[in-house]
Amino acid sequence: MAQQIVIGKIVNVRGLRGEVKVLPQDSDLAVFEGAEQVWCEGKPFKIKRAVPIKNCVGLLLDGVECVEDAQKMVGAAVTLPEDQFPPTEEGVYYIRDLIGMTVFQEDGTLVGELEEVWPTGARDVYRVLRKDGAETLIPAVGEFVREVNVKKKEMCVRLIEGMTAVPENK
């Protein structure tokens, strides 16, 4: 069986028919819209309906028939087998594929490791941690992110003045 990947967390109930409100792990909601079923606490649930709600997703799940059933699920992780993720478009990546990437500048200089992706609404921001502990924040736009190689877990970036933190003298 394929590895289960966390795609969100149930944060609340919605309505009285057992719908749950899920905060997605990734900014791409297509993973919910394309899935036929998800897993919560190791148990599969067929998706009856998935609707976007601001920065969350409302899921109506088969077997969750009332608000009391839904309330018992609040706090649970929502997972999906890795092999059931929908393919992404060219230049679009799942956050789980980016975390841990080694980030280099165009001249081959090591920047650091991509530690976190901050969804900001307009464009994500990549938080890269350098070996000296300083961080570099890189907007996820083509001007700065030149190449992403998911298979090699590498990213090539172009940095401009002010993007890199100057390490403190100790």
Is residue 36 included in any domain, yes or no? yes
Q: 82: helix, coil or strand?
A: helix
Indicate the residue among 84, 103, 131 that finishes a domain: 84
The three-point CA angle 146-151-152 to 5° equals: 70
Inter-residue contact 117 to 95 (CB < 8 Å)? yes
pTM: 0.66
For the chain, how many residues are written?
Answer: 170
- If one counts the domains in the chain, the total is 2
Task: Look up residue 25 and give its DSSP letter.
Answer: S
Indicate the residue among 84, 107, 129 that finishes a domain: 84
Separation CA 156–CA 48 (nearest Å): 41
Indicate the residue among 84, 116, 137 that finishes a domain: 84
What one-letter code names the amino acid at 170? K
CA distances from 2 to 69, 80, 81, 83 (A): 28, 9, 5, 6
pLDDT at 145: 93
In tens, the pLDDT along 94-129 reads 888 899 999 999 999 999 999 998 877 778 899 999
pLDDT category, 165, cuts 50, 70, 90? low
Separation CA 102–CA 170 (nearest Å): 26
Same structural domain, 64 and 119: no
pLDDT category, 169, cuts 50, 70, 90? very low
Same structural domain, 78 and 114: no
pLDDT at 38: 93
Name the pairing type of β-strands 56-61 and 19-24: antiparallel
In tens, the pLDDT along 21-76 reads 999 877 667 778 778 899 998 899 999 999 988 888 999 999 999 999 999 999 99
Residue ranges making up the domain that contains 133 = 95-157
How much is the average pLDDT of 163-168?
Answer: 58
